[in-house]
Each structure stands twice: as C-alpha cells, then as structure tokens.
Amino acid sequence: MTVQTLYDDVANFIANMNPTKILELKAPLEAQERVQALIKKEKESALTATEKDELDHFLVLERLIRLAKAHARQRLSGV
C-alpha cells in the first residue's frame, strides 16, 4: 500500500459519510489566516521546527479534504 492509496482510502471513507456536507467543508477563517501567515513567514525568513511541523499538518489535512471532496463529487454525480 502506498501513501497515495492510503490517502484515497481515507478520503473515500470521509466522502461516503455525507457527500453534500463534505463539499461544504472548509477551514475556519482562523486556520486559513494561520496557514497564510506561516507560508508568508516561510517565504520571508525561516520557520521554526514547530511552525514547519504545524504547516506540514495543515497541508496534509488540506490534501485529504481535497481528495474527500473529489470523491464526494464522484458519489453525487453517480460516477
């Protein structure tokens, strides 16, 4: 099993819960602002190890949610 397969499996599981609700899912404004601040800091200087870890976790979650939304769209379209 590859990491990509695992992501797809988890995203598919999430999408099966309630595809319509999954499509409505988005990060709270506070989280969006934090990610933007971390990205800006990363471009302008250097992140601490803790900040880099935090940004990495945000990016993994974003990837997973995007995959879940793609699976949800497929479920709703009947594909």
pLDDT for residue 31: 92
Contacts of 71 (CB under 8 A, 6+ apart): 8, 11, 12, 14, 15, 16, 19
Question: pTM score, two decimals?
Answer: 0.79
pLDDT along the chain (79 residues), means of 10: 79 86 90 95 95 94 90 88
pLDDT for residue 58: 92
Please count the residues of the chain: 79
